[in-house]
Chains A and B, each alone.
Chain A
Amino acid sequence: MAKTENHEPFIHISKRDVLPWYKSMGIRAIAILAALIVCAIVTMVLTGDNPISIYAAIFKGAFGSSRKTWVTLQSMSILLLISLALTPAFKMRFWNIGGEGQVLIGGLAAAACMICLGGKLPNAVLIPIMIVASIAAGAFWAFIPAFLKAKWNTNETLSTLMMNYIGIQIVAYFTVYWEVPKGSGKIGIINQNGNEGWLPQIAGSKYLLAIIVAVIVTIGMYIYLNYSKHGYELSVVGESEQTARYVGIKVPKVIIRTMLLSGAICGLVGLLLVAGINHTITTTITDGQGFTAVMVSWMAKFNPIYMIFASFLIVFLNRGASEISTAFGLNHSFSDILTGIILFFIIGCEFFITYRISFRKKNGKEEKAS
């Protein structure tokens, strides 16, 4: 028979008030630190090298030369842009995991313009057409699930997921349709001789354009989410659809509008990838970043400023891990394992930010912990 006063459970979990930002950041920092230590241990076990030289190698992989630094910044910008694109939808509790497909379709529109109109129009006309086409294509790809959600409440996680694969197959269709040379299954560099439709280099650097776009979109998104009527409306819809309906917000309209914005930015990323960076299109051009961006956006609590750090962390580890795997002759998927470990820790630490754990003391009083 247990003691009669012990009805209270041993561990009691209750919701915290909002933590001051330095405390919540502190918990996240501890989690990231713990994750980095675990990553170091895993790497040590697999390669037998000491952790300090492992992190030196990771750092070298990301910032070893000025070219590497630029590439790191560029891929960070792309990941940041996709995360920013998904954020307004997430804030509305619309789980848009279709970033992958929206980027691809945007990229496909850009590639189509480059292939079909390249050489017929001057760049000054062609590039604006490409911009409009990719943004429209990305927005259209996001519009379909948004419309379904608004009209029939179709589960958006699953419909955006399917749209990804439909998008991938459409791109696969066109890569075979436009393949150069016939039978290779690849498009190769588009308009290599005349550079028709290639986005211009800014200040002589081919990396700068994506970074500038990312900065502009980050600032724009921050203002849009925090200081605009639209941003307010979509966060009301996210918090409670009933409240939104009650105060007279047209929920279907907000869903469709927000997803159009989401898809438009994804389409823009597709343009940057195809016309600015790779000058070709393949089905793997997004490299799973549509999914990674979901996690980046969530890790940053849908805050555009935090997203800069989150995407930096992911890209930094990714490039570092590929340096390690090259050095030790290991498989390049090593970076996915490290990314996974970091994500698990960050996902887990959110609990300690949102909830307080109290342990029962022997005399029945509660003791506050963590």
Chain B
Amino acid sequence: MIDLVTFIPRAVVQGIPLLYGCTGEILTEKSGNLNLGIPGVMYVGAISGVIGSFFYEQSCGGNVNGFLAIAIPMLCCLIGSLLMGLLYCFLTVTLRANQNVTGLAMTTFGVGFGNFFGGSLIKLSGSEVPSIALSATSSYFSKSLPFAGKFGAFGKLFLSYGFLAYLAIIIAIVCSYVMKRTRVGLHLRAVGESPNTADAAGINVIRYKYVSTCLGCMIAGLGGLYYVMDYACGVWSNDAFGDRGWLAIALVIFTIWRPNLGIFSSILFGGLYILYLYIPTGMDHMELKEIYKMIPYVVTLIVLILTSMRNKRENQPPASLGLGYFREER
């Protein structure tokens, strides 16, 4: 049957981009913004990091400084996804546009942006390499603890990942703590539940919406970066990131808006995402694999239905999710 010691690390590696996307989207949704642009933001985050490290590797030729090799792509990724977040906030919060439409437009734009620069970067920069393969940068990103190998199965299960994987878990725990236990978190939830009330209580609704959405986008962007630099070993291929962005949004529902639950559920989803590789189907029933790929979505749909059926107050989406807030309109 399935060899858990090899399966779980692969599920974790699949789950980390989802965890980033999911944490980012929870943070965004808690402020009442339903950002359907997350798939686009993750693409932009990934390609921004790739562009940054591509030019860095080109300019220094061979001898790559470890610190810069990590700092430059990270910074580019954060800036790229921050810009997307600002664009979304400007359109939906300041210009009060519809959130669904803005989000979908951002996904169209972001995925196009990623694939365009991924496919044309070499031609545009006029360099002489056959494909974007940032192996030097990637080796720094995927470097695991040096003594991970010595602990056998334990080391393989818990210590064999690049630093971004641990960062994802730390971010999720911090988010969860801030949202649940601090005053800022309380204000943030108030903004998402009832912006009118929050405004009346003296909370700056617009600032909360901007900050949480932009932070959410930056976190989601890191998910894209992790995918390219660690999982894909620095090789960009168009559309490889696939529908993981949408899966991250699905995960938000699955975790009923709790980042700490997101850690386990993203690994579970990562496992479900690659489960089809492990279920023996036999050569004459390859079509069944496609059915197994459906599992994450079916599970999400069922969770969505169950939470709405049970109608428990603490498991509901933020009450003003998807609605804009205008002080003078109530």
For A329, what are the chain B residues with a Cβ–Cβ distance below 8 Å? 123
Per-residue A-contact encoding for B268-289, CB less than 8 Å = 1, 0 else: 0000000000000000001111
**Which chain B residues in 91-128 approach chain A with CB under 8 Å?**
91, 95-98, 100-102, 104-120, 123-124
Least Cβ–Cβ distance between B38 and chain A, in angstroms = 12
State in angstroms the CA–CA spacing of A354 and B116 once bound together: 34
User: CB-CB contacts of B129-161 with A at 8 A, as 1s and 0s?
Assistant: 000000000000000000000000000000000
Chain B residues positioned under 8 Å from A159 (CB to CB):
301, 304-305
B284: min CB distance to chain A, Å: 9
Given contacts A152-B311, A347-B97, A350-B97, contact A337 B116 (CB under 8 A): yes
B285 to chain A, nearest CB (A): 9
Residue total for B at the interface (Cβ-Cβ under 8 A): 59
B119 with A330: CB separation less than 8 A:
yes
Whether A347 contacts B308 in the complex (CB less than 8 A), given A169-B290, A334-B112, A336-B109, comes out as no
Knowing A155-B304, A172-B293, the reply to whether A14 touches B328 (Cβ < 8 A) is yes
Assess A166 versus B301: contact at CB under 8 Å? Given A161-B250, A331-B238, A336-B115.
Answer: yes
Q: Is B249 an interface residue (CB 8 A)?
A: yes
In the bound complex, do residue A162 and residue B116 qualify as a contact, i.e. CB atoms below 8 Å apart? Answer: no
A318-354 interface code vs B (CB 8 A; 1 in, 0 out): 0000000000011111111101110110011011001
Find out whether the CB atom of A341 lies under 8 angstroms from the CB atom of B111.
no
Q: Across the interface, which residues of A come within 8 angstroms of B106, CB to CB? A: 340
A69 interface hit (Cβ, 8 Å):
no
Interface pair B322/A298, CB less than 8 Å apart: no
A143-183 contacts to B, CB under 8 A, are 148, 152-155, 157-159, 161-163, 165-166, 169-170, 172-174, 176-177
Decide: A337 and B304 in contact? CB cutoff 8 A.
Answer: no
Assuming the contacts A166-B301, A173-B290, asked whether A97 and B100 have C-beta atoms less than 8 A apart, the reply is: yes
Q: Which residues of B contact A295 (CB under 8 A)?
A: 101, 104-105, 108
Q: Which residues of A contact B200 (CB under 8 A)?
A: none
Q: Is A355 an interface residue (CB 8 A)?
A: yes
A313–B35 CA distance with the chains assembled, in angstroms = 25
Contact B116 A161 (CB under 8 A): no
Q: Which residues of A contact B87 (CB under 8 A)?
A: 344
In the bound complex, residues from chain A placing their C-beta under 8 Å from that of B98 are: 298, 347
B22 within 8 A of A: no
Contact check: which of B112, B250, B253, B294 meets A333 at CB < 8 Å? Answer: B112
Q: Which of A51-59, A249-257, A286-294, A362-370 contacts B (4 or more CB under 8 A)?
A: A286-294
Contacts A298-B101, A347-B91, A351-B97; is A291 near B119 (CB within 8 Å)?
no
Q: How far is the CB of A37 from chain B (nearest CB, A)?
A: 17
A309 beta carbon closer than 8 Å to chain B = no
Interface hits, B218-244 → A, CB 8 Å? 238, 243
Main secondary structure of the interface of B (DSSP, over half): helix
What is the CB-to-nearest-CB distance from A341 to chain B, in angstroms, rounded to a whole number?
Answer: 7
Shortest beta-carbon distance from B78 to chain A in Å: 21
B297: chain A residues at CB < 8 Å are 162, 165-166, 169
Q: How many A residues touch B, CB cutoff 8 Å? A: 53
Q: Is the CB of A354 within 8 A of B104?
A: no
B243 CB contacts on chain A under 8 angstroms: 165
Q: A183's closest neighbor in chain B, by CB?
A: B286
Q: Tell me if A15 counts as interface (CB < 8 A to partner B).
A: yes
Q: Is B300 an interface residue (CB 8 A)?
A: yes
Measured between alpha carbons, how far is A161 from B253 in the docked complex, in Å?
Answer: 12
Q: Which of B97, B289, B298, B322 is in CB contact (< 8 Å) with A166?
A: B298
Out of B108, B111, B246, B329, which one reaches A15, CB within 8 Å? B329
Question: Do A331 and B118 have beta carbons less than 8 Å apart?
Answer: yes
CB distance from B101 to the nearest CB of A (A): 5
Q: Per a CB cutoff under 8 Å, which of B110, B289, B294 touches A165? A: B294
**Contact A333/B111 with A46-B124, A148-B305, A157-B100 known, Cβ cut-off 8 Å:** yes
B291 interface residue (CB < 8 Å to A): yes
For A154, the closest partner residue in chain B by CB is: B308
Rounded to whole Å, the gap between the CB of A168 and the closest CB of chain B is 8
Query: Quick check: is B309 within 8 A (CB to CB) of the other chain?
Result: yes
| B34 contacts A by Cβ under 8 Å | yes
Q: Are A15 and B328 in contact (CB under 8 A)?
A: yes
- What's the nearest-Cβ distance from chain B to residue A102, in Å? 15
Q: Which residues in B have their C-beta under 8 angstroms from that of A291?
A: 104, 107-108
B contact residues around A177 at 8 Å (CB): 287
Q: Which A residues touch B304, using CB under 8 A?
A: 154-155, 158-159, 162
- Asked if residues A340 and B105 are in contact (CB atoms below 8 Å), the reply is yes
Question: In the complex, how many angstroms separate the beta carbon of A54 from the nearest chain B beta carbon?
Answer: 16
Please name 16 further chain A to chain B contacts, defined as beta carbons within 8 Å, in addition to the given A97-B36, A155-B317, sorted by A numbering. A97-B104, A148-B305, A161-B249, A162-B297, A165-B243, A169-B293, A294-B104, A330-B123, A330-B124, A333-B111, A333-B238, A335-B112, A337-B113, A343-B108, A348-B91, A350-B95
What are 7 of the A-B contact pairs (CB < 8 Å)?
A: A162-B297, A298-B98, A329-B123, A331-B115, A335-B112, A336-B113, A347-B95
B residues engaging A (CB < 8 A)? 34, 36, 87, 90-91, 95-98, 100-102, 104-120, 123-124, 238, 243, 246, 249-250, 253, 286-291, 293-294, 297-298, 300-301, 304-305, 308-309, 311, 317, 321-322, 328-329
